[in-house]
Structure formats: structure tokens, C-alpha cells
Amino acid sequence: MNTADRMKIPRQAMPEQEPQERSHNFQEVNLGLATEAARLEAERCLRCRNAKCVTGCPVGVNIPHFMEAVAEGDLNRAADILFESNVLPGITGRVCPQEIQCEAQCIRGKKSTSAAVGYLERFVADWARENRPDQLVPPPSTGKRVAVVGGGPAGLTCAGELAKKGHQVTVFEAMHKPGGVLVYGIPEFRLPKAIVDAEVDKLRRMGVRIVCDVVVGQTYTIRDLLDEEGFHAVFIANGAGLPIFQGIPGEQLKGVYSANEYLTRVNLMGAFRFPANDTPVIRAPQIAVVGGGNVAMDAVRTARRLGADPATLIYRRSREEMPARAEEVKHAEQEGVVFDMLCSPVEILGTEDGWVRAVRCQRMELGEPDASGRRSPVPIAGSEFEIPCQVFIEAIGTRANPLITQTTPELKTNKWGYIEIDANNMTSIPGVFAGGDIVRGAATVILAMGDGKRTAAAINTYLAK
């Protein structure tokens, strides 16, 4: 097929559950492309020789070769290409912000719409999970032992890449389940937990040992892992999951949650099935969430599914400045989430017996761009008003949990508490590496995975010395 013909094929739409129906259930919103649609979509790729999309992918999937294999219907080859660079493709195909990564670099996207790399990644990963037997042949053991602290995307990717090299890897995870944000943060309706479990199980079959309910910094220190437990190297990937609060009056009221607590209760502990599951969550008729990122979007869409009407999203800038993935914003709107833009909470108001009854907000207007390049919100005097709600959720960001750095004082951190690393991703302690959100601050799944992959290569070199 020539380029002109490829350019004529329209971007294939992702089938979705109807908004009316899905705003009351936790099943996945996106349903996945059918085989013929996937083949057509793959034909849209222009097969550029100097493929910019590959540089836009933090784990460097060979996208043109992958697209070609899908277009030819050779899904086995497509899966091989994918798994060679990405150990968690069923996950990244669902949650990566492709529109600012690989798809942003797509040449055909400059003239019309980009090739839907993410849709095809998901399609091939799902096909492989259901249709092809494991082709894992563990390499001979090197006898070297590596401890990975944290079972999120950075830790799991690093573990998988090290296992491919024959190292013995043990992942220590604080929660009762591995996956990090993938299991406790991102809701079932965006990323079914069965997909995460299947990709984690694959790592186990590659020889990765995963030990849950171990809090490094308490159960073991980093020094214990090296000096007493006999690990030859350590990768710290404990994320940045400590919630930040706005510090406004009323945050002590009953009914105020951090988004992390709210989402952990619902996703990891299954509170949406309470009382069948032990953990409850407050179900209120009106819920307001403050924030503009993926976390806020997940919290408000969860609140909607738990019956809130309205479920209101409060954001201090306009829709254009929202950092959330474009698809999540669109889906939230379709599901009936109310967007209250250019508005910022100043106080949470309570009833006499200490429950949330409303949030007082102030209107904002956009001023000059700030350090982030986005126009900054400026309060409008005398514009205060109330939004009635019985649950108020704060999703304005997270920071590093100091547990590990406090118990390992020789680990250098920057002024925000994030771990400092050198060009080889090694920390100030020889043999101890770090990556993911604990180095970058809250970022994305694929950036964390890219860190895990690069660090695995650096650890491999370090162990060979």
C-alpha cells in the first residue's frame, strides 16, 4: 500500500461501553478493537524510516516493525516485538498518555490523526495473553541476587529485565498485592486488575520472586538487604504516594479524603462491594473532588459510579490546562461529571456534628504563564460561593514517603525528598539504584517503566564488574 492510500484510512474508533450504562458500573470503559479494525489501523502507519514515534516511547518499542506485523496479521511476531521492549504492554496500552508520547511524534499526525499505537499495543497484548502459550525460557542463573523495593511499574519492569539476564530477583512490596498505583490507584474501569495480575504472573514465571507485606525501612533497611540478606544490588522504586493536602480550614471534618485513600479503599480493598468486602467507603449523594490530573479524574469518575449526583470536579485553571489524559477528560464529561473550572476551594464547611456539608470556593481568572508554562490562576475578589457536598476529595498531588530515606541517612535526596541518582541511575550508596516516581516525583507509568528498564541495564553492567 502506498502512502497516499494509507493516508485515506480513517483512524479506527475504540468501541466503548455506553456512558449511561458505564457511569453505574466498574467494568472497563474501552472494549478493545476488533481484528479487522486493528489490521486497518496498523495499515495507517506510514512505516517511516526515521521513525520518530520510537523516540517518543520511553521503553523504545520498535513501532513501525510492530505495526507492519499487525497489518500482515502476524500477531505472534507483533507480540515478540512488543515483549522484547515492554514487559507490561497490556497495561501501557491502556493507561499511557500516547497523545503526548509516541503518537505525538507520529508524522501522519502532523497532517491528520496519528496512528493509534496504544490501541494496537492493547490489542496485541490481549491477543497474546489469551492465545499464545508462554514462550519463556529462563536463561542460566548468574548467581547474582538483586532486591527490588516496590512492586509498581518501575520495580516490576526492572525485575523482569533483570530476570531476562538470569539474575535472581526478589521484589519486596509493602502492600498485600504487587502493582503499585496500577492496583491501588487506577480504577478497574480503566485498567482491569485481571490484566495487571496476568502480567505480574508472567514475571513470576520468568523467575521473579515477589514478597508482599514487607515494608522496607521497617522490616529491613537498605543496609540490611545488602549486608545481612546478601543481595548484590538494590533498586529502590517505592513511588511517591504520600498525599499532599491544600492546608485549608475544615480538612479535619468527617468525609474529607485524600484521593489516594479514597481510591485505595475502592480499588485495592474493593469497597465498591462493601459489605461483601470488609472495607467501607462513604457513599454520599454529592461529592466534590479538587484537582486536574489523572488522579482527580479517577476519583471523580469513581464517585460518580458510587452514586454521587452531582460528582463535581473543581479545578483552578481552565480545561485546556488540565494535565489529565485527554481520553479521561472526555470520558468523565460523557459520564455526567460536572466540571467547575477556574475555581479553587478556600474552606470546607461542616455540620454541627463534624461532617462535611459544602466546600466554599473562589472564582479564578487566568493571568501570566508560570514556571510550568501554563497561565496561572489569579483569584477574583468577592467571588466566593459554596458547592454542597458530603464528601470532599483532595487530588492535588503526592510526594515522597520519607520512611526509606530516614532509615538510610547516607541516601542523598534533593530538597523535596526525592532520591538523587547519577547518570547510571545509582544513588549515593554503591550498588543501590533508584527510579520511577521516587526519583522524578509523580510522573507516568511508562516513564517509571523506562527508568526500570534503563536501571536494569545499569545493574547488569555493575554486577558484571
Ligand X SMILES: Cc1cc2nc3c(=O)[nH]c(=O)nc-3n(C[C@H](O)[C@H](O)[C@H](O)COP(=O)(O)OP(=O)(O)OC[C@H]3O[C@@H](n4cnc5c(N)ncnc54)[C@H](O)[C@@H]3O)c2cc1C
Which residues of the shown chain bind ligand X in the complex (CB under 6 A)? 95-97, 149-155, 172-175, 180-181, 185-186, 215-217, 237-239, 241, 263, 294-295, 298, 325, 401, 403-404, 436-437, 442-446, 448
Q: How far is the CB of 327 from ligand X (least distance, A)?
A: 9
- Residue 121 · residue 146 · CB < 8 Å: no
In the complex, residue closest to ligand X by CB: 152
Q: How far is the CB of 450 from ligand X (least distance, A)?
A: 11
Beta carbon nearer to ligand X, 239 or 255: 239
Look at the chain and count its residues.
Answer: 465
Beta carbon nearer to ligand X, 152 or 377: 152
Percent composition of the chain: helix, strand, coil (DSSP 3-state, to 5): 40, 20, 45
Q: How far is the CB of 369 from ligand X (least distance, A)?
A: 24
Q: How far is the CB of 94 from ligand X (least distance, A)?
A: 8
Beta carbon nearer to ligand X, 283 or 440: 440
Beta carbon nearer to ligand X, 324 or 356: 324
Beta carbon nearer to ligand X, 46 or 458: 458
C-alpha cell at 456: 536494569
Write a three-state SS string for 207-254: CCEEECCCCECCCECHHHHHHHCCCCEEEECCCCCEECCCCCCCCCCE
DSSP characters over 380-394: PTT--EEEE-SEEEE
The residue assigned the cell 459489605 is 275
Beta carbon nearer to ligand X, 127 or 262: 262
**Could you give the CA distance from residue 77 to residue 132 in angstroms, rounded to a whole number?**
11
Q: How far is the CB of 69 from ligand X (least distance, A)?
A: 25
- Residue 221 · residue 407 · CB < 8 Å: yes
Give the three-state DSSP class for 374. coil
Beta carbon nearer to ligand X, 89 or 180: 180
Beta carbon nearer to ligand X, 218 or 461: 218
**Could you give the CA distance from residue 465 to residue 463 in angstroms, rounded to a whole number?**
5
- Residue 343 · residue 363 · CB < 8 Å: yes
Q: Which helix (H) or strand (E) holds 4?
A: helix 3-8
**Could you give the CA distance from residue 391 to residue 262 in angstroms, rounded to a whole number?**
10
- In sequence order, the 6+-apart residues with CB closer than 8 A to the CB of 242 are 398, 399, 400, 401, 402
Beta carbon nearer to ligand X, 388 or 417: 417
Q: How far is the CB of 358 from ligand X (least distance, A)?
A: 25
- Residue 324 · residue 292 · CB < 8 Å: yes
CA torsion 151-157-160-164 (nearest 10°) is: -160
Q: How far is the CB of 325 from ligand X (least distance, A)?
A: 6
β partners of residue 348: 359
Beta carbon nearer to ligand X, 166 or 441: 441
C-alpha cell at 234: 538494590
Beta carbon nearer to ligand X, 304 or 325: 325
Q: How far is the CB of 440 from ligand X (least distance, A)?
A: 8
**Could you give the CA distance from residue 35 to residue 276 in angstroms, rounded to a whole number?**
38
Q: How far is the CB of 177 from ligand X (least distance, A)?
A: 8
Give the three-state DSSP class for 169. strand
Tell me which DSSP letter residue 292 carries: S
Q: How far is the CB of 62 from ligand X (least distance, A)?
A: 21
Tell me which DSSP letter residue 188 carries: T
Q: How far is the CB of 56 from ligand X (least distance, A)?
A: 14
